[in-house]
Chains A and B, each alone.
Chain A
Amino acid sequence: MPVNPGYCDCDTVLYPTFPLKKTMRAFLERQQYLIDYTLAALLRRKTRNLGLLLIYTLLVFLFSSVLLLSQGVRREAAVLLQDAPEVIVQRLVAGRHDLLPAAWLDALRRIRGVSSARGRLWGYYYDPAVKANYTLMVAPDRELAKDEILIGAALARVRQIGIGDYFGLRAADGQPMPLKVIGVLESASELLSADLMLLPEPSFRALFNFPPDVYTDAVLTVRNPREARTVAEKIALALPDSRPILRTEILRTYDAVFNWREGMVFVCLGALLLAFVILAWDKAAGLSAEEKREIGILKAIGWETGDILRMKLWEGALLSLTAFLAGYALAWQQVFHGGARLFAPVLKGWAVLYPDFQLTPAVDLQQVLVLLAVTVLPYIAATLIPSWRAATADPDAVMRG
């Protein structure tokens, strides 16, 4: 009978005799058996594992929601602030912010590296009716008639007003100043414009009783943005009462604000994490008598300690990765498509005005890996350690029932 050098008849099927291929095939078959057994084991303890899976998923969902939301807001703010002025100059009097004389604008324009300088008028207005601060600003690029205003979407929502309605402010002389809403600012910029009210310069000066030769601050453009810091140093030298603020510093401030808020939420979630760790340790680490017996049987019928650990590794990995993926996917849906209602009041809050905007979905691989390491690895370790202890014992106990 001719012999096929590639095959030999073993175990009633034709096996390739190439050792590497055969070993690899046996390895894959073994992993498949272990996964099958693990799935069956998980299903056999349905109630326990389902409960654990639900709590685990909830925990990953909460942590992922905070991370995705705070990072999304930071990213959104950074994108919007890209259009912010490169340098802002304020005037300080005894360390306190004060109005900036219009004459400073010429002095600023003369500084080498500055290409333009423009005075800005803005301020905060407290509205006792809704107990919220508005940001009032003179529209830089919009020509508005004397009694016309544009308002942010959150402000329109909270005061329940729209285009054509009148909005009454109380001026510095105590007289009411009625202003007509002629537009609501687009929601794409709501992160920064939620509480914004744009009004014409004469109305602004009349409202706050500002003389015509002062501004709140000045914004500069510089010829070479990389030299913004050098320009700022020159300004500080030329105008000793000035305080130049760079765009990067504004970005850093936003970052710090969101980091702080994120930190506060994490402190609160920390208690939950601790509760989960205790629960997971109890459920995963405490092998039941039934599980110990099962490990004994498997060892007695020819499983190695390594096989049992691999099976337990699969068990921990399947449960924790399922929980991780489900929790992360739910958080993604909630944050990017569900309006992030869960943590928005904490992470997006502007007094009582909450910006309503859609975050752009994005994945930060480093963030995913950290979350994976914090949630999945401890659980797998909690599963493996007791199993290793049980699996290294002699299996003879099983002979004694």
Chain B
Amino acid sequence: MIELSAISKIFNQGQPNECRALRGINLSLERGGITVFKGPSGSGKTTLLTLVGCLARPTAGRITLDGRLLSNLPERFLTEVRRHTFGFVFQQFNLIRGLTVLDNVMLPAYPLGRPHRALVGTARELLDRFGLGTKVASKVEWLSGGEAQRTALARALINDPAAIIADEPTANLDSALSREVLALLGELAGQGRTVLISSHDPLVFEAAPVSRVIELRDGQITGDQRC
């Protein structure tokens, strides 16, 4: 269970280019299911996900994960939580060019020092599951958009996180590939993982496996619909 109370995020505070991205957000996110944050560009969807995923700290307010306060944790502990609790899928895929598909998938596990054979085994299993078994040794820059996004999804799962955060996962994909990625995310939710997606693509928030749609505008929640 993730709880956000009175969350605000201000960028460049006190400067002429100050920007209030989030204003007093109160929200409870239950374990499991797919929650989609929808809204126009600049509504605060991505900022909200970065705060939930411990990638940044709120300017004000409290975030708790299963009752544990995250918003005041030192960087090291925040990384620890991020590493074990969340897997990230980015709009631009954010795979590391020059490395193979397998190396990219294993990257999040490097700091844990897991035995190499076991790690390679887990990574290969994930890639096989996502239909990328033949691409293991390919450089990521040779992949198609769909393959790159599935690689990113495999990378997000390598540390077996409880939650997946996907920021505009279909923004760079056509409709068929978008459906494919959504099906995979639905599969993960079916296994009991929490999937949080930000999107302004109707294909995403109208998809069958979505369990909740939260609408944002100007840094505030304007709608909360359970499906």
Report which A residues bind B (CB closer than 8 A): 11-13, 15, 25-30, 32-34, 37, 40-41, 43-44, 290, 293-294, 297-307, 392, 394-396, 398-401
B204, chain A: closest CB distance, angstroms: 17
Q: Are A399 and B111 touching (Cβ within 8 A)?
A: no
Residues of A near B156 (CB, < 8 A) are 301
Indicate if B98 sits at the interface (CB-CB under 8 A).
yes
Residues of B near A32 (CB, < 8 A) are 116
Q: A40-B98, A395-B55 are known contacts. Are A307 and B110 too (CB-CB below 8 A)?
A: yes
Q: Name the one of A34, A43, A399 contacting B50, with C-beta atoms under 8 angstroms.
A: A399
Q: Are B107 and A29 touching (Cβ within 8 A)?
A: no
Interchain residue pairs with CB less than 8 A apart (26):
A11-B118, A11-B122, A13-B115, A13-B117, A25-B113, A29-B113, A30-B111, A30-B112, A30-B113, A40-B103, A41-B98, A43-B98, A44-B97, A300-B90, A301-B88, A302-B159, A303-B108, A304-B76, A394-B57, A395-B55, A396-B50, A396-B56, A399-B46, A399-B49, A399-B90, A401-B91
Q: A303-B79, A304-B76, A394-B55 are known contacts. Are A297 and B115 too (CB-CB below 8 A)?
A: no
Q: Are B113 and A301 touching (Cβ within 8 A)?
A: no
B200, chain A: closest CB distance, angstroms: 15
Q: Are B88 and A300 touching (Cβ within 8 A)?
A: yes
Indicate if B75 sits at the interface (CB-CB under 8 A).
yes
Q: Number of B residues whose C-beta is below 8 Å from A?
A: 39
Indicate if B114 sits at the interface (CB-CB under 8 A).
yes
> A37: nearest residue on chain B (CB-CB)?
B110
Q: Name the one of B97, B108, B122, B167 contacting A301, with C-beta atoms under 8 angstroms.
A: B108
Residues of A near B90 (CB, < 8 A) are 300, 398-399, 401
Residues of A near B99 (CB, < 8 A) are 40, 44
Residues of A near B113 (CB, < 8 A) are 25-30, 33
The complex places the Cα of A11 from the Cα of B117 at a distance, in Å, of 10
Indicate if B16 sits at the interface (CB-CB under 8 A).
no
Chain B 42-64 against A: per-residue CB contact (8 Å), 1 yes, 0 no?
00001101100001110000000
Q: Are A301 and B91 touching (Cβ within 8 A)?
A: no
The complex places the Cα of A394 from the Cα of B92 at a distance, in Å, of 18
Residues of A near B50 (CB, < 8 A) are 394, 396, 399
Q: Name the one of A11, A297, A305 contacting B114, with C-beta atoms under 8 angstroms.
A: A11
Residues of B near A34 (CB, < 8 A) are 110
> A23: nearest residue on chain B (CB-CB)?
B113
The complex places the Cα of A307 from the Cα of B46 at a distance, in Å, of 26
Tell me what chain B mostly uses at the interface: helix, strand, loop, or mixed.
helix
> B161: nearest residue on chain A (CB-CB)?
A302
Q: Name the one of B75, B114, B121 contacting A29, with C-beta atoms under 8 angstroms.
A: B114
Indicate if B23 sits at the interface (CB-CB under 8 A).
no
Indicate if B143 sits at the interface (CB-CB under 8 A).
no
> A41: nearest residue on chain B (CB-CB)?
B98
The complex places the Cα of A400 from the Cα of B117 at a distance, in Å, of 34
The complex places the Cα of A43 from the Cα of B98 at a distance, in Å, of 9
B161, chain A: closest CB distance, angstroms: 9
Residues of B near A40 (CB, < 8 A) are 98-99, 103
Interface centre among B49, B98, B99, B159 (most CB of A within 10 A): B98
B133, chain A: closest CB distance, angstroms: 18
Indicate if B155 sits at the interface (CB-CB under 8 A).
yes
- Besides A40-B98, A394-B50, 9 more A-B contacts (Cβ < 8 Å) are A12-B118, A30-B112, A44-B98, A294-B96, A299-B79, A302-B79, A304-B76, A399-B49, A399-B90
Report which B residues bind A (CB closer than 8 A): 46-47, 49-50, 55-57, 75-76, 79, 82-83, 88, 90-92, 94, 96-99, 103, 107-108, 110-118, 121-122, 155-156, 159, 167
Residues of B near A294 (CB, < 8 A) are 96
Q: Are A400 and B46 touching (Cβ within 8 A)?
A: yes
Residues of A near B79 (CB, < 8 A) are 299, 302-305
Q: Are B115 and A298 touching (Cβ within 8 A)?
A: no
> A29: nearest residue on chain B (CB-CB)?
B113
Q: Are A11 and B115 touching (Cβ within 8 A)?
A: yes
> B50: nearest residue on chain A (CB-CB)?
A396
Q: Name the one of A26, A43, A290, A301 contacting B155, with C-beta atoms under 8 angstroms.
A: A301
Q: Name the one of B94, B103, B112, B121 contacting A300, with C-beta atoms under 8 angstroms.
A: B94
Residues of B near A11 (CB, < 8 A) are 114-115, 118, 122
The complex places the Cα of A305 from the Cα of B74 at a distance, in Å, of 12
> A30: nearest residue on chain B (CB-CB)?
B113
The complex places the Cα of A30 from the Cα of B46 at a distance, in Å, of 31
Q: Name the one of B57, B108, B115, B121 contacting A302, with C-beta atoms under 8 angstroms.
A: B108
Residues of B near A37 (CB, < 8 A) are 107, 110
Residues of B near A394 (CB, < 8 A) are 50, 55-57
Interface centre among A27, A299, A307, A398 (most CB of B within 10 A): A398
The complex places the Cα of A392 from the Cα of B88 at a distance, in Å, of 19
> A34: nearest residue on chain B (CB-CB)?
B110
Interface centre among A12, A15, A41 (most CB of B within 10 A): A12
Interface centre among A33, A40, A294 (most CB of B within 10 A): A33
Q: Are B112 and A298 touching (Cβ within 8 A)?
A: no
> A303: nearest residue on chain B (CB-CB)?
B111
Residues of B near A306 (CB, < 8 A) are 76
A46, chain B: closest CB distance, angstroms: 10
B84, chain A: closest CB distance, angstroms: 8
Residues of A near B76 (CB, < 8 A) are 304-306
> A27: nearest residue on chain B (CB-CB)?
B113
B10, chain A: closest CB distance, angstroms: 14
B83, chain A: closest CB distance, angstroms: 3
Interface centre among A28, A40, A303, A401 (most CB of B within 10 A): A401
Residues of A near B114 (CB, < 8 A) are 11, 26, 29
